[in-house]
Chains A and B, each alone.
Chain A
Amino acid sequence: MQGVASVTRAPFPPAHALTASFRLPCSRRRCSPQTLRFPPLEGYLDEQFHQLEELQDDVSPNFVEEVVTLFFRDSSRLIGTIEQALQKHPQDFHRLRTHVERLKGSSCSIGALKVKSECTLLGEYCDEGNMDRCLRSFQKVKREHAILRQKLEAYFQLLRQVGPTEKASGSGN
């Protein structure tokens, strides 16, 4: 298919192709008509995710999914590193904190609200040098990370399903 403007998959399915509830949550800003709202993601992502969507265009039509994929690859590795670090005795809380900061930073970059919050708490417990709390907090980090991954996978899968405009125009409300 030729033509500068055409893409094989629309980055954002037109609003009419989706049910009213299918749009992404934007905690602060008013969403444009094109923005997707996916109820399962409500409260899990913040404004930063919307920023990523704004950066997606014809030149970079899969930008959001690419970044998200990179995030899970990177963060899974970091979680593994933290897990190993937590088993060390005596505990090097400073080093542990560094890993947590990196995980927090990545979470922040994609707008992973809950993962970020749990990382903040974990960081505080590292500063306190409280091993018990670190361990419990880390479990929460892992859980939020896994939940987000599931939700985003479902989200992108749904996008793929409604993606092509030919399909979308047939599937009205």
Chain B
Amino acid sequence: MSVATEAQYHVLAVDDSLIDRKLIERLLKTSSYQVTTVESGNKALEFLGLHDEQRESPSVSPNNEIEVNLIITDYCMPGMTGYDLLKKVKESSSLKDIPVVIMSSENVPSRINRCLEEGAEEFFLKPVQLSDMKRLRPHILKGKMKEPQQQQQQQNNKNKNLNNNSNNNNSKNNNIKLQAATKEKPLMKGYLKKEQGLDSLMAIV
């Protein structure tokens, strides 16, 4: 059994169609990504720890955070569309640097432009193909470059939360911790951090 030399990035896939979720999950796993699939924008935001603008409990250390390296979402979904989700992600200080890719079965130029203008990295036409998966990596790497600022922001938020300790999400956070503990820490992340000389963050990680 060979040891993975490449970092395993984590992609959050959002689609209301069960078939499409299964498909995108297989596509991503075949391309060596860790995958979480959710059926709605709301569930996505919940997974990302962004609901009612509350942060996770401060007892969760950076090591146990769920890290999402890319969000790939369907455009047409009931309730919160992929565009709405994109907006919410880009409006969030802790999530805005996560690259977002939109998928749609319809080739509508105005729709595509609107998403790109709002900060989507790319627009995939459905059905998504295996060859499309290759286009994700550059966006993830770009997102990782921005990460230090994002992490510092998250750390600041945590320090703030320490002072207003909220225990509402404790049991949920235990679940998140359990999930995160089984996730491999990507090698690339540490390597990038070292390169950028972020020793203070390295000390925490």
Contacts and interface: CB of A to CB of B under 8 A. Distances in A.
B26 A109 contact: no
Contacts of A104: 105
Contacts of B22: 66-67, 70
A99 to B, nearest CB: 11
Given A63-B26, A67-B19, A70-B19, A105 B129 contact: no
Given A51-B129, A105-B126, A109-B127, A71 B26 contact: no
B179 interface: no
Contacts of A54: 130
Interface residues of B, number: 16
B105 A105 contact: yes
Given A48-B127, A51-B130, A105 B26 contact: no
A20 to B, nearest CB: 28
B73 to A, nearest CB: 14
Interface of A is mostly: helix
A55 B30 contact: yes
B20 interface: yes
B17 A108 contact: no
Contacts of A63: 26
Contacts of B19: 67, 70-71, 74, 106, 109-110
Given A105-B126, A108-B126, A108-B127, A55 B27 contact: yes
Interface string A44-72: 00001001101101011001001100110
B18 interface: yes
A70 B18 CA distance: 8
A106 B127 contact: no
Interface of A: 48, 51-52, 54-55, 57, 59-60, 63, 66-67, 70-71, 74, 101-102, 104-106, 108-111
10 tightest A-B CB contacts, nearest first? A55-B26, A105-B105, A109-B19, A109-B127, A106-B19, A48-B127, A70-B19, A71-B19, A109-B20, A108-B127
